[in-house]
Chains A and B, each alone.
Chain A
Amino acid sequence: DAKTTQPPSMDCAEGRAANLPCNHSTISGNEYVYWYRQIHSQGPQYIIHGLKNNETNEMASLIITEDRKSSTLILPHATLRDTAVYYCIVRVSNFGNEKLTFGTGTRLTIIP
């Protein structure tokens, strides 16, 4: 699986959009980009994933550059409950026999 690079920490004001970047310059054509977050002492929570088109769901938007070498997770109106470690993962999907490899992620702190 391709390696990802994320900033170790970011701050965002409550109510503003939080934009979390991820570089994955060695991504292959069949690898998807997944985002998870982990709040302290809880299990990772799936947020969103995509292949090459931008994606949006009730939690966030995922913007993938045209060359697919980087992506940005956008939390449109950040709240205090969005404070967590956010992980960007790039992987080829298999059918139930894949393992997730979490890097160090970005620690996002929402400031009141």
Chain B
Amino acid sequence: DGGITQSPKYLFRKEGQNVTLSCEQNLNHDAMYWYRQDPGQGLRLIYYSQIVNDFQKGDIAEGYSVSREKKESFPLTVTSAQKNPTAFYLCASSMTEYSNQPQHFGDGTRLSIL
């Protein structure tokens, strides 16, 4: 089935440690996105990428980094500079050929601090 796969489902980070969240899609979408969701709150955009080898900062990019070396993959690294990383992280993708195409989401990774 076509879709977006995020892994792992649960992740624990020690103080001072960088961790990488995986996002893979087989929908042949050009655009990919990373959002953060905190309990009882909406989504906040971290980074997005419209095309391979290019990405842009969203509203809360500090303490995060991304890469887009392949169309299918958009990994997110939560660095030690992110002081409050505990959250639910969501990856999404969308077509870009038509202006009204929706974003589709993976099932998320829940990150906690040990």
Contacts and interface: CB of A to CB of B under 8 A. Distances in A.
Interface in A91-107: 93-97, 99-104
Interface residues of A, number: 21
Interface of B: 4, 6, 30-31, 33, 35, 42-43, 45, 48, 50-51, 56, 58-59, 88, 90, 92, 94, 96-97, 99-108, 110
Contacts, number: 64
A96 B50 contact: yes
At the interface, is chain A mostly helix, strand, loop or mixed?
loop
16 contacts: A32-B100, A44-B43, A44-B105, A46-B102, A46-B103, A49-B100, A95-B97, A95-B99, A96-B31, A96-B94, A96-B96, A99-B33, A99-B48, A99-B58, A99-B59, A103-B42
